[in-house]
Amino acid sequence: MEEAKKAGDRIVAMQHHVCVPHFTKLLTGGGICCGNKEKVAEEFAKHGTDILFVGHSHWQNITKYHAENGNMMTQVNVGSLSGHPSPIFK
């Protein structure tokens, strides 16, 4: 990530589990988040990751994370196209 920042590249990452909880703690505080979610989100954002694409929950959601150094990362939870029920939320 440091090399990408120096080169002026935009950093986009992907992982299966959610890093930044959304909706309710009941749904995102446990099994659908990565185990060390706060540390992972902080590291991605701190080092300049602009967007983190995640899945697992099968919902569509966009959540912002602000690192301690002021950097902001956008987590995009990509909904399942084939799951039931529909992952579209207002």
Confidence band, pLDDT 50/70/90 cuts, at residue 77: confident
Q: What are phi and psi of 65, to 5 degrees?
A: -130, 130
Q: Report residue 90 as tokens.
A: 């207002």
Amino acid at the residue 69: N
pLDDT at residue 69 greater than cutoff 80:
yes
Sign of the C-alpha dihedral computed for residues 43, 70, 23 and 57 taken in this order? negative
Q: Which amino acid is at 11?
A: I
Mean pLDDT across the stretch 43-72? 89
For β-strands 49-54 and 11-14, DSSP reports them as parallel
What is the 8-class DSSP label of residue 24? -
Say whether pTM exceeds 0.85.
no
**What is the per-residue pLDDT for 59?**
73
Task: Return the bridge partners of 77, or none.
Answer: 54, 61
